[in-house]
């Protein structure tokens, strides 16, 4: 990775003594991208909890999933359309105890919650839109490494994430093995599988086929491809849950007084998908959905490294792999592949009826695993 300008802290960026938990912004300069292309200036939005200690060895990086952001914990409010997506895991006495740890979460490159993405302003004063370059998981980690440099964090006590966040956490451990003491990979994979890519294709097509898409340059048209984005989210959300959970929860129930049998009404499960489609349309940019989905499709830690097994041999720290037993999008076999190929890997299983979303919903189980992993290192004096 090369940069053509010096990274710098911008207004509102982190300084020792700042209040914690608020979104901050930092410029990391220009970034050359893996697949070609260049971003002349990248801004990163991030939040912190706790305080970095004098030794600077108590920092934890939390990586969000596809439609998440830096707001891991805390209420909805200015700049935060929704409450924290992993509430209860960060704070005094929580698995990531802010009396002990300094927790950092950044919005990902290509996102739409403050970090440079397609809706950001390009040098010509217009939104990037269709001109935004292709980014990979490695590019996203590259930008996070620049953020780490600015925060004065040479080595993370832990880097963790689920789904797309797990891809980045694993990429961190492979690309920067000397900078990650522990990598925790939840409900994720070492590479995007054919089925995962196949599920993504109709989502990408739904957005791009929307008449309001305008080739990706819809920002000046007063409307965006909300219908296409909603369809994409409906498709994705089915893969996030298990067949049994949907059956037990909805069965063949109709939605309220609506009559689906010849009456044009909806089944309850259709109303559920409509609800999630409406939620995403109000808080997420369709172009970011495209950019991040294609970044996930590109994910392969073995690319140009001699394959997955060779790449995993680069991991120098502790590797913890957590799968969800009912996950049909990132099935347990993918977690097992990582664990079996990586030296010193440890495995855990989250038991849940909720499928892939189990890593977000089963906070008690996930929190127990995280507390066990991070707490044991602290007790053993292994954080360094």
Q: Average pLDDT for residues 156-184, to the nearest whole number?
A: 98
pLDDT at position 12 is 35
Residues 164 and 237 in one domain: no
Angle at 127 between CA 123 and CA 130, to 5 degrees: 105
Task: Give yes or no for a contact between 1 and 142, defined as CB atoms under 8 angstroms apart.
Answer: yes
pLDDT at position 226 is 97
Query: The whole model's pTM is what?
Result: 0.92
Residues 265 and 362 in one domain: no
pLDDT confidence band for 263 (50 / 70 / 90): confident
pLDDT at position 82 is 82
Residues 339 and 357 in one domain: yes
Query: What is the residue range of 238's domain?
Result: 198-294
Residues 243 and 307 in one domain: no
Of 73, 157, 356, 357, catalytic: 356
- Distance CA(281)–CA(292), nearest Å, equals 16
pLDDT at position 79 is 73
Of 70, 148, 163, 298, catalytic: 163
Task: Give yes or no for a contact between 319 and 345, defined as CB atoms under 8 angstroms apart.
Answer: yes
DSSP 220: G
Angle at 332 between CA 326 and CA 335, to 5 degrees: 140
Q: Average pLDDT for residues 180-186, to the nearest whole number?
A: 98
Residues 157 and 33 in one domain: yes
- Residue 189 in any domain: the answer is yes
Whether 327 is catalytic is: yes
Residue 57 pLDDT > 60 = yes
Higher-confidence residue of 22 and 216: namely 216
Exposed e or buried b for every residue in 125-151, given b needs 16+ CB within 10 A? eebbbeebbebbbbbbbbbbbbbbebb
- Residue 3 in any domain: the answer is no
Of 139, 210, 285, 327, catalytic: 327
Residues 184 and 205 in one domain: no
Last residue of a domain, one of 294, 328, 363: 294
- Return the H-helix or E-strand segment holding 244: helix 243-250
pLDDT of 107-152, one tens digit each? Answer: 999 999 999 999 999 999 999 999 999 999 999 999 999 999 999 9
pLDDT at position 77 is 78
- Distance CA(73)–CA(88), nearest Å, equals 7
Residue 328: alpha-carbon gap to chain centroid: 18
Residues 53 and 19 in one domain: yes
**Partner residues linked to 104 by β-bridges:** 48, 61
Residues 95 and 147 in one domain: yes
Whether 163 is catalytic is: yes
CATH number at residue 270: 1.10.1740.110
Q: What are phi and psi of 279, to 5 degrees?
A: -65, -45
* Number of domains the chain is built from: 2
- Distance CA(10)–CA(31), nearest Å, equals 17
Helical segments of 60-111, H only: none
Q: Average pLDDT for residues 40-60, to the nearest whole number?
A: 96
Last residue of a domain, one of 277, 294, 311: 294
Contacts of 265 (CB under 8 A, 6+ apart): 254, 255, 257, 258, 259
Whether 257 is catalytic is: no
- Residue 180 in any domain: the answer is yes
- Residue 384 in any domain: the answer is no
Last residue of a domain, one of 294, 318, 340: 294
Q: 166 in the Ramachandran plot: left (φ > 0), alpha (ψ -120 to 50) or beta?
A: alpha
Residues 215 and 353 in one domain: no
């Amino acid at each position: 990775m090369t940069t053509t300008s010096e990274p710098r802290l911008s207004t509102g960026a982190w300084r020792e003594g700042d209040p914690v938990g608020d979104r901050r912004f930092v410029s990391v300069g220009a970034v050359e991208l893996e697949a070609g292309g260049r971003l002349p200036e990248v801004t990163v939005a991030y939040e912190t909890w706790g305080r970095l200690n004098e030794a600077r060895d108590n920092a934890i990086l939390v990586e969000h999933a596809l439609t998440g952001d830096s707001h891991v914990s805390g209420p909805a409010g200015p700049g935060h359309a929704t409450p924290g997506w992993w509430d209860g895991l960060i704070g005094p006495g929580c698995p990531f105890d802010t009396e002990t740890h300094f927790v950092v979460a950044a919005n990902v490159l290509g996102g739409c919650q403050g970090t440079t993405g397609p809706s950001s302003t390009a040098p010509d004063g217009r939104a990037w839109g269709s001109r935004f370059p292709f980014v990979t998981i490695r590019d996203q980690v590259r930008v996070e490494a620049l953020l780490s440099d600015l925060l004065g964090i040479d080595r993370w006590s832990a880097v963790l994430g689920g789904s797309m966040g797990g891809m980045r956490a694993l990429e961190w451990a492979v690309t920067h093995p000397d900078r990650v003491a522990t990598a925790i990979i939840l409900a994720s994979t070492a590479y995007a599988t054919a089925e995962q890519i196949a599920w993504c294709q109709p989502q990408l097509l739904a957005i791009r086929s929307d008449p309001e898409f305008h080739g990706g340059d819809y920002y000046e048209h007063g409307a965006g491809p909300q219908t296409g984005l909603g369809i994409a989210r409906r498709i994705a959300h089915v893969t996030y849950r298990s067949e049994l959970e949907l059956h037990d929860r909805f069965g063949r129930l109709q939605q309220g007084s609506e009559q689906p049998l010849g009456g044009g009404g909806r089944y309850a499960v259709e109303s559920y998908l409509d609800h999630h489609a409406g939620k995403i349309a109000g808080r997420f940019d369709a172009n970011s959905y495209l950019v991040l989905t294609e970044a996930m499709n590109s994910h392969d830690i073995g690319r140009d490294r001699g394959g997955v097994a060779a790449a995993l041999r680069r991991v120098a720290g502790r590797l913890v792999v957590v799968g969800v037993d009912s996950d049909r999008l990132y099935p347990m076999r993918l977690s097992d592949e990582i664990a079996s190929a990586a030296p010193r890997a440890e495995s855990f299983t989250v038991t849940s009826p909720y499928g892939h979303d189990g890593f977000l919903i089963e906070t008690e189980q996930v929190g127990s695993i995280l507390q066990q992993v991070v707490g044991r290192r602290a007790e053993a004096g292994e954080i360094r």
